[in-house]
Amino acid sequence: MPAHVQPVRVYFGVFAALMALTALTVGAAFVNLGPANTFVALAIAVVKSTLVILYFMHVKGNTKLVPVVILSGVFFLLLLFLLLAADYGTRGWLGVPGR
Protein backbone atom coordinates (compact mmCIF):
# COMPACT_ATOMS: atom_id res chain seq x y z
CA MET A 1 0.00 0.00 0.00
CA PRO A 2 1.54 3.34 -1.01
CA ALA A 3 1.35 5.46 2.11
CA HIS A 4 0.35 9.07 1.54
CA VAL A 5 1.32 9.89 -2.06
CA GLN A 6 1.73 13.68 -2.33
CA PRO A 7 0.41 15.34 -5.49
CA VAL A 8 3.14 16.47 -7.91
CA ARG A 9 2.02 20.09 -7.55
CA VAL A 10 3.06 20.00 -3.85
CA TYR A 11 6.66 19.20 -4.90
CA PHE A 12 6.72 21.97 -7.50
CA GLY A 13 5.10 24.38 -5.04
CA VAL A 14 7.77 23.67 -2.42
CA PHE A 15 10.48 24.03 -5.08
CA ALA A 16 9.08 27.44 -6.10
CA ALA A 17 8.97 28.54 -2.44
CA LEU A 18 12.60 27.41 -1.94
CA MET A 19 13.68 29.40 -5.01
CA ALA A 20 11.84 32.51 -3.77
CA LEU A 21 13.42 32.18 -0.32
CA THR A 22 16.89 31.77 -1.89
CA ALA A 23 16.34 35.04 -3.80
CA LEU A 24 15.09 36.65 -0.57
CA THR A 25 18.15 35.59 1.44
CA VAL A 26 20.51 36.98 -1.23
CA GLY A 27 18.50 40.22 -1.38
CA ALA A 28 18.38 40.58 2.41
CA ALA A 29 22.17 40.23 2.60
CA PHE A 30 22.56 43.47 0.62
CA VAL A 31 20.29 45.47 2.96
CA ASN A 32 21.91 46.89 6.09
CA LEU A 33 19.96 45.53 9.05
CA GLY A 34 22.84 45.75 11.51
CA PRO A 35 23.31 42.65 13.64
CA ALA A 36 19.86 41.43 12.48
CA ASN A 37 21.33 40.41 9.08
CA THR A 38 22.65 37.15 10.49
CA PHE A 39 19.38 36.36 12.25
CA VAL A 40 17.34 37.08 9.11
CA ALA A 41 19.64 34.78 7.08
CA LEU A 42 19.32 32.01 9.69
CA ALA A 43 15.54 32.46 9.97
CA ILE A 44 15.16 32.08 6.18
CA ALA A 45 17.41 28.99 6.25
CA VAL A 46 15.28 27.49 9.03
CA VAL A 47 12.08 28.10 7.02
CA LYS A 48 13.68 26.52 3.91
CA SER A 49 14.85 23.51 5.94
CA THR A 50 11.41 23.06 7.46
CA LEU A 51 9.85 22.98 3.98
CA VAL A 52 12.38 20.39 2.78
CA ILE A 53 11.93 18.24 5.91
CA LEU A 54 8.12 18.35 5.91
CA TYR A 55 7.44 17.84 2.20
CA PHE A 56 10.54 16.47 0.40
CA MET A 57 11.47 14.22 3.32
CA HIS A 58 7.84 13.28 3.99
CA VAL A 59 7.91 13.98 7.72
CA LYS A 60 4.41 15.43 7.29
CA GLY A 61 2.12 12.43 7.11
CA ASN A 62 4.70 10.00 8.47
CA THR A 63 4.90 8.19 11.79
CA LYS A 64 5.00 10.66 14.71
CA LEU A 65 8.17 9.08 16.07
CA VAL A 66 10.23 10.71 13.29
CA PRO A 67 9.71 14.35 14.41
CA VAL A 68 10.57 13.31 17.97
CA VAL A 69 13.90 11.87 16.77
CA ILE A 70 14.65 14.97 14.65
CA LEU A 71 13.81 17.40 17.46
CA SER A 72 15.96 15.44 19.92
CA GLY A 73 18.90 15.91 17.52
CA VAL A 74 18.13 19.63 17.13
CA PHE A 75 17.86 19.92 20.93
CA PHE A 76 21.37 18.53 21.49
CA LEU A 77 22.71 20.70 18.66
CA LEU A 78 21.28 23.81 20.34
CA LEU A 79 22.67 22.64 23.69
CA LEU A 80 26.13 22.46 22.06
CA PHE A 81 25.75 26.00 20.68
CA LEU A 82 24.35 27.38 23.95
CA LEU A 83 27.09 26.00 26.21
CA LEU A 84 29.83 27.05 23.77
CA ALA A 85 28.36 30.56 23.66
CA ALA A 86 28.18 30.63 27.48
CA ASP A 87 31.84 29.62 27.65
CA TYR A 88 33.31 31.94 25.01
CA GLY A 89 30.90 34.78 25.85
CA THR A 90 32.00 35.00 29.49
CA ARG A 91 35.76 34.38 29.26
CA GLY A 92 36.55 38.09 29.50
CA TRP A 93 34.68 38.39 32.80
CA LEU A 94 37.46 36.83 34.83
CA GLY A 95 39.87 39.67 34.15
CA VAL A 96 42.69 37.17 33.70
CA PRO A 97 44.92 38.19 30.76
CA GLY A 98 44.76 35.75 27.91
CA ARG A 99 41.61 34.01 29.13
Binding site for another protein (CB under 8 A): 1-3, 5-6, 8, 11-12, 14-15, 18-19, 22, 25-26, 29-33, 37-38, 41-42, 44-45, 48-49, 52-53, 55-58, 62-63, 65-66, 69-70, 72-74, 76-77, 80-81, 84-85, 88-89
Closest CA to 48 of 65, 27, 40, 4: 40
| Distance in angstroms between the alpha carbons of the first and the last residue of the chain | 61
Cβ 96 to another protein, closest distance in Å? 17
Closest CA to 14 of 47, 45, 51, 42: 51
Helix (H/G/I), strand (E/B), else coil: 53: helix
Cβ 95 to another protein, closest distance in Å? 18
